[in-house]
Amino acid sequence: MKKIFRNLAFGLILLFLYAPILVLIVYSFNDSKIMGPWAGFTLKWYVMLFQDRYILQALYYTLIIAVVATTVSTIVGTISALGIYRMRSKLKRPYLLLNNIPVLVPDIVMGITLMSLFIFAGMKMGLTTIIIAHITFCIPYVILAVLPRFNRLPENIFEAALDLGATPRQAFWKVLFPEILPGVTSGALIAFTLSIDDFVISFFTAGNGVSNLSITIYSMAKAGINPKINALSTIMFGCIMVLLILINIRSEKGIKHIQ
Amino acid sequence: MKSFKEYIAYPYGLWMLIFIAVPLLVVVWFSFLSNPDFKAGVYTFTLDNYQEFMDPVYLELLYRSFLYAVIATVICFIIAYPLGNLIISLPGHRQNLMIVLMIIPMWVNFLLRTYAWMVLLSGSGLISQFLGMLGFQDVSLLYTQSAVILGMVYNFFPYMLLPIYTSLKKIDPDLLRAATDLGANHFQMFVKIKLPLSLPGIVSGSMMVFMPAVSTFVISNLLGGGKYMLVGNLIEQQFLTLNNWNFGSAISMVLMTIIFLVLGIARLITGKELDTGGQLL
Amino acid sequence: MKKILLILLLLCLPFLAGGCGSDDRAELTVYNWGDYMDPEVIAQFEEEYNCRVNYETFTSNEDMYVKVKNSSDTYDVLVPSDYMIERLISEDMLQPITKDNIPNLANLDAAAQDLAFDPGNQYSVPYFYGVLGIVYNTTQVTDPVDSWNILWNDKYASKILMYDSIRDSMGSSLKRLGFSMNETNEANINAARDALIVQKPLVMAYVTDNVKSLMASGDAAMAVVYSGDAAIIMSETDNLDFAVPKEGSNAFYDNFVIPKNAQNPELAEQFINFMLTPEIAAKNIEYVGYSSPNTPALALLDASWSANAGFNISKEDLARSEIFKDLPSDVMDIYNRAWTEINVSK
């Protein structure tokens, strides 16, 4: 009984979360430029998608920005979290306060101010500026995810490993790192999600032919979202789902193996 | 951990000074200027921008934004808290899968998801047709307050779920078992143990939902049909359409000050720094 | 979880490696409205002129202005509308067009040239034009649609879509009261504001984007739209018609301009000239749906286009309409204030 209730609850919440995605998938096969009544099945948006260099280029930039921003912010964020954890000085509070600001400031303010800064510094808008901006708003979330992990570590875990004969490298990778890994992965996951979804900050810091999917989609708004974008989302969503299923099958097998 | 020194955090400190502190100071500075002409080097210091905001028209907007954000936060909590408990009751690897399933929709572009909601909510959309079958005729949910709040709940829900799930997961099951052994009933166990121990997760989840909700302009624009302007729309309008960066900066400063005040209160409740859920996954 | 991230990274790798590296072809940076040019046509230009086009898009004239004015980016070709061209000229941000380099100017209808915002077309070359009007569902709307008054008819409560732009919404209200689209008198502007506040309970939404699907599905009975959007909606859906109110409306012209700091003005002129070739212009019309001043291109179109009221705008409708002027900032403040009050009203 309890199980039925539980599955029902999961089913409802997943329906809520996935309903709009199903709509996108359905409309990617609709033979009309308008997201209105059904006008017949077609694959033409998929064909047109692969002919549209600008959408593919936006996809390429979206991914490159997300991957670079996630990698850099995860590494820098983790190292900085370790430093913050060791901070005993009065510096710690202002440091954390400053770190929380991008979380608190409305996106549009971050975007405008970063743009002003880049102009003031005479930087040309492009891939570099947009990546800097993404790193800036991603690191705080990584730190917020990793820091609590350090805070819960036994005080001298690293030194204990050294005393027991581990090299510093071993002590870090074999003892310390596995302890903070869940925080690091969730930080990276949040960073990736934020980067791939950001429109406002990207809009102000992009330029010179570099634009991501959000900017492309937003600028289409006046003319109506082109179904090519629905087709692209369907493909991306499909890839993620296939991956997830593959990984899940593997881990289920792994568990049976252990049992 | 003495082998690590605090100075490894300094490079990012410098980064923050350049890319966070300086821009922020620029906003503060802008908010105190009136119609500056930087090329001519002319600008006057003024409080006008703040005074202008004290107009009832704008205060009403601020009130509305807070009201919507609070309602969205409460709804997210009401769904996420029991859901977090249900996820905890799953076997370990299933928990991870369920959490990932809840995050994946966020990898489909935010604007696209919102456009899809517009299709679902419109008068000829699925939801209205379903309501029609139940006997409610001609209900269009699109462009109503409910649609705006639904958009907030939908887009920010995972930010509530993750910290709550993390804080619930941290609770030692032995503690709950001990409480039962000592004769606590379900209600006592919830009020005396579960709720206090998961409070940090609840507070940080609430902040993570409240903050983007209170400053959003895309959701109110798309799902509210421009009829339910929020303070985020006002800021966007000042910066983008009206080119009045000084007033825009002043509004941002007011909004940020209030957010910091709310955050201060949240810290008083939990006595802890903001925590997005380090134990996740 | 770690594995998912790793595999994602691996998936991204081919993209990272296969990304377009820099090549030594000439570069042209174009900043245009979203979905306002057929991507095929751009590719064709790149091929014929052996260059690379950086193509960026914007959502509104104001968005474009903020970026062009403040950013350190340089653009070679922009496509702003009339009043924005006027502002760009007055701020000395554009360079004059060398007409000898654009022989295809001969294809353009004289009616779209030499307008007040750019006398003698010194700085701009017409691309598309249109007029603000009302697209309506002929099965739902039984009254004649010939006046802005229909938007205040409570028979159509919650079925009316307004255009989410200060100048356009205020403009239709001003016109209805017999004032100008470019009204500068505060009392008249406030009268238009009050009329819009009275109208607000009848309005389904103020939108720019979702009009097409709401009209197609019949959720909305009428919508204030630009003619080209009406043309696309009407080409996809039956039972729709488009009308320009008799009080007059807003006519707009989206023209090509070359900013003063353009890196490659010669190529920019070649680009503009290429877009004015009849075959190319016809392709763009079929993609975009807005009215084109390119007379030879019109002859190449399918017959259904000339029957489309949103595409084929009558001379009378155009003559009755006003083009926006770039209003001084103190007048814009009155408009902005009025718009906020409309927004906040219940």
Tell me, what's the pLDDT at C212?
81
Q: Among all residues of chain A, which has the CA nearest to that of B260? A: A104
Percent of chain A, pLDDT > 90? 31
Span of A90-99, A130-139, C79-88 with lowest mean pLDDT:
A90-99
Distances (CA, A) of C155 to B142, B154, C140, C203, C346: 20, 34, 10, 12, 19
Span of A215-229, B6-20, C148-162 with lowest mean pLDDT:
A215-229
State the pLDDT confidence band at B81, using cuts at 50, 70 and 90. very high
* A contact residues 47-106, partner C, Cβ 8 Å cutoff: 51-54, 57, 59-60, 63-64, 67
Tell me, what's the pLDDT at B270?
67
pLDDT at C3 > cutoff 80: no
For residue B140, list chain C residues with Cβ-Cβ distance below 8 A.
158, 204, 219
Highest mean pLDDT among A15-24, A98-107, B43-52: A15-24
pLDDT at C254 > cutoff 90: yes
Tell me, what's the pLDDT at C13?
47
Tell me, what's the pLDDT at B36?
61
What's domain C26-128+253-306's architecture?
A: 3-Layer(aba) Sandwich (3.40)
Distance to chain C for B143, nearest Cα, Å: 6
CA C44 to chain centre: 24
Distance to chain B for C152, nearest Cα, Å: 17
Give the closest of B100, B140, B243 to C219, CB-based: B140
* pLDDT, mean over chain C: 89
* ipTM of this predicted structure: 0.85
Q: Is the minimum CB–CB distance between B14 and chain A shorter than 8 Å? A: no
Tell me, what's the pLDDT at A256?
61
Task: Give the residue-averaged pLDDT of B147-169.
Answer: 91
pLDDT at A199 > cutoff 80: yes
State the pLDDT confidence band at C66, using cuts at 50, 70 and 90. confident
pLDDT at A54 > cutoff 90: no
| Interatomic CA distance for residues B167 and A214, integer angstroms | 33
Taking each helix axis from N to C end, the angle separating B92-103 and B56-88, rounded to the nearest 10 degrees, works out to 150
pLDDT at C332 > cutoff 50: yes
Residues contacting residue A165 through CB under 8 Å, at least 6 positions apart: none
**Fold agreement (C26-128+253-306, C130-251+312-344):** yes
Q: Is the minimum CB–CB distance between A208 and chain C shorter than 8 Å? A: yes
Q: Is the minimum CB–CB distance between C56 and chain A shorter than 8 Å? A: yes
According to CATH, what is the number of the domain A53-225? Answer: 1.10.3720.10
State the pLDDT confidence band at C108, using cuts at 50, 70 and 90. very high
What are the structural domain ranges in chain C?
A: 26-128+253-306, 130-251+312-344
Task: Give the residue-averaged pLDDT of C66-70.
Answer: 82
State the pLDDT confidence band at A47, using cuts at 50, 70 and 90. very high
Task: Give the residue-averaged pLDDT of C103-127.
Answer: 95
pTM tops 0.90: no
For residue C205, list chain B residues with Cβ-Cβ distance below 8 A.
142-143, 224-227
| Interatomic CA distance for residues A158 and B218, integer angstroms | 47
Per-residue tokens: A203: 């809009």
Secondary structure in 3-state letters for chain C: CHHHHHHHHHHHHHHHHHCCCCCCCEEEEEEEECCCCCHHHHHHHHHHHCEEEEEEEECCHHHHHHHHHHCCCCCCEECCEHHHHHHHHHCCCECCCCHHHCHHHHHECHHHCCCCCCHHHCCEEEEEEEEEEEEEECCCCCCCCCCHHHHHCHHHCCCEEEECCHHHHHHHHHHHCCCCCCCCCHHHHHHHHHHHHHHHHHEEEEECCCHHHHHHHCCCCEEEEEHHHHHHHHHHCCCEEEECCCCCCEEEEEEEECECCCCCHHHHHHHHHHHCCHHHHHHHHHHHCCECCEHHHHHCCCHHHHCCCCCCCCHHHHHHCEECCCCCHHHHHHHHHHHHHHHHCC
State the pLDDT confidence band at B272, using cuts at 50, 70 and 90. low
Task: Give the residue-averaged pLDDT of C238-247.
Answer: 94
Size of interface B-C (CB pairs under 8 A): 73
State the pLDDT confidence band at B5, using cuts at 50, 70 and 90. confident
* C contact residues 303-332, partner A, Cβ 8 Å cutoff: none
- Locus of tokens 């929020």: B230
Delineate the domains of chain B, giving CATH numbers in brackets: 68-227 (1.10.3720.10)
Tell me, what's the pLDDT at B80?
95
Most A CBs within 10 A among B2, B5, B10, B19, hence the mutation to make, goes to: B19
C130-251+312-344 maps to CATH 3.40.190.10: yes
Give the closest of B61, B123, B241 to C344, CB-based: B61
* pLDDT, mean over chain B: 84
Q: What is the DSSP string of A23-66?
A: HHHHHTTBSSSSSSS---B--HHHHHHHH-HHHHHHHHHHHHHH
pLDDT at C109 > cutoff 90: yes
Tell me, what's the pLDDT at B38?
57
Task: Give the residue-averaged pLDDT of B148-172.
Answer: 90
pLDDT at B245 > cutoff 90: no
Give the closest of A53, A63, A119 to C72, CB-based: A119
Residues contacting residue A22 through CB under 8 Å, at least 6 positions apart: none
Q: What is the DSSP string of B30-98?
A: HHTEEEEETTTTEEEE-SHHHHHHTSHHHHHHHHHHHHHHHHHHHHHHHHHHHHHHHHHTS-HHHHHHH
pLDDT at B153 > cutoff 90: yes
State the pLDDT confidence band at C318, using cuts at 50, 70 and 90. very high
Percent of chain A, pLDDT > 70? 95
pLDDT at C19 > cutoff 50: no
Tell me, what's the pLDDT at C336?
86
* C contact residues 272-301, partner A, Cβ 8 Å cutoff: 288
State the pLDDT confidence band at C14, using cuts at 50, 70 and 90. very low
Tell me, what's the pLDDT at C72?
67
* B contact residues 196-225, partner A, Cβ 8 Å cutoff: 211, 215, 217-218
**Between residues C292 and B166, which one has the greater pLDDT?**
C292
- Locus of tokens 């202002």: A94
Task: Give the residue-averaged pLDDT of C212-219.
Answer: 84
